[in-house]
Every structure is written in structure tokens, then in C-alpha cells.
Homo-oligomer: A and B are copies of this chain.
Amino acid sequence: MTTVLIVDDQPMQRFGFRMLLESQDDMELLGEASNGMEAVRMVDRLRPDVVLMDIRMPGLDGIEATRRIVASGDRTRVLILTTFDLDDYAYAGLRAGASGFLVKDALPEELLSGIRAVASGDAVVAPSLTRRLLDAYVDHLPTGSDHSRAEDTRLATLTEREREILTAIGQGSTNTEIAEHFHLAESTVKTHVGRILAKTGSRDRVQAVIFAYDTRLVKPSP
């Protein structure tokens, strides 16, 4: 029996998922949450096997909720569902520790098999995203016997300019300082920063700094 928690702010979406789950006798719906904060609390209490997580929600969004659920350390797996296959969300979701990423227009059977796969410890990614993931990172795949270290995927998606600016952020610079240093308008810096946050799955520049340190783009000084 696979126990499931639905997290979505749209009642009709939840209704659809509920109907689908109730039609399966190996699945049990433990509850429904309409935002991230509620989801984290319910996971803590109900310990479902799988959480079906929407991304865009008021308050705490699905990415951050996923991060917290995964960080809490218990066995619950998160399967992210989104309306469109937005790459940035995918990266962020996977970085947050999700076990999978599917688009909502998937067929019911695909969704169900995705849930079962995730519950059994496997992972699933929507085909449209798998294509992009492979295109972007196939060069970094290990050659088989050689277990080379993984270079961070999200770092690789940044352009040269974005890496420069992320480095500056990682050194504590404000947008104004970055603009001066690179002879740019502050609005340009903001545009770059916005893209950096999206690509790295960071909520704000603080998390971007953490990302920069964790990927060794910026190294501790002493």
C-alpha cells in the first residue's frame, strides 16, 4: 500500500488527483494540503510514502517545501508536478531533493506509474525534461568504470557573465557595487541576478551565496 499526500492550491487539481488515487486499491490518500507550510506540517504528522507537490503556491512554494521535507530526513519522497515543463523549476526542484518531476498533462497511467516508481525508491523525470537534461549534461556523464566526480549541473547552465556576477555575490557585493565594478546599469545586474537565482534554484541572493560556496565557485578565505 502506497500512502500519498496531495499538495496543490487549486481545489480542482486536488479533486482530480483524489479521484485518480481512489480508483487504485494499492494507494491510500492520507490528506491534502493547499500550501507549502501546511504540507511540511502534514508530512511531519502523517509520514506519507509520496508527496505530490505543486510548485506554484501562495506562501511557501513547492520548491522550498520539498527542501524542508527532504531535509527532515524521513522516508517521504517528493514527486513534483507542474503545469509546464519549465526548466528552471525542474532544476530547482531536483536540487531541493525531489525524487521526480512530472508535468500535469501526463496521462493518468503515467502519473500512477510515476508514483509507484518513486515510492519504490526510483526516480522519474518527464520525458520533455529528460531530453533537456541529457542534452545539457551528457558530456559530463561518467565513462562507466571511471567514476569521475560530478561537476555541478546548475553551475554549468550559467553563462560566463552570470558566473562572474555570482562570484561577486558570493563575495558579498550589493547590486550597486556589482554594477559599478562591471560598468553596468543596476537594472542589468538585477536581470542577471534574477536569472542566476532561477537557474541555481535559489530563493534569494543569500541562497545563491550558499550555492556558490557549495559548488566551490567561491572558496572560504582562510
Contact residues of A with B, CB < 8 Å? Answer: 67, 70-73, 87-89, 91-92, 94-97, 99-100, 107, 109-110, 113-114, 117-118, 121-125, 127-128, 130-131, 133-134, 136-145, 150, 152-153, 169-172, 174, 202-207, 209-210, 213-216, 220-222
Asked if B171 and A150 make an inter-chain contact with CB atoms under 8 angstroms apart, the answer reads: no
Residues of B within 8 A of A215 (CB): 139
Secondary structure class of chain A's binding surface, majority of residues: helix
Q: How many copies does the complex hold?
A: 2
Complex A-B: 23 CB contacts under 8 Å: A70-B140, A70-B141, A89-B144, A95-B141, A97-B138, A97-B141, A107-B113, A110-B113, A121-B131, A122-B127, A122-B128, A123-B127, A123-B131, A123-B133, A125-B125, A130-B130, A136-B150, A171-B210, A172-B202, A172-B210, A209-B209, A213-B220, A216-B220
Select one of B91, B128, B169, B221 contacting A142, CB under 8 A. B91
A113 to B117, CA, bound (A): 16
Residues of B within 8 A of A145 (CB): 88
A206 to B87, CA, bound (A): 27
Asked if B123 and A130 make an inter-chain contact with CB atoms under 8 angstroms apart, the answer reads: yes
Residues of B within 8 A of A222 (CB): 214
A144 to B222, CA, bound (A): 22
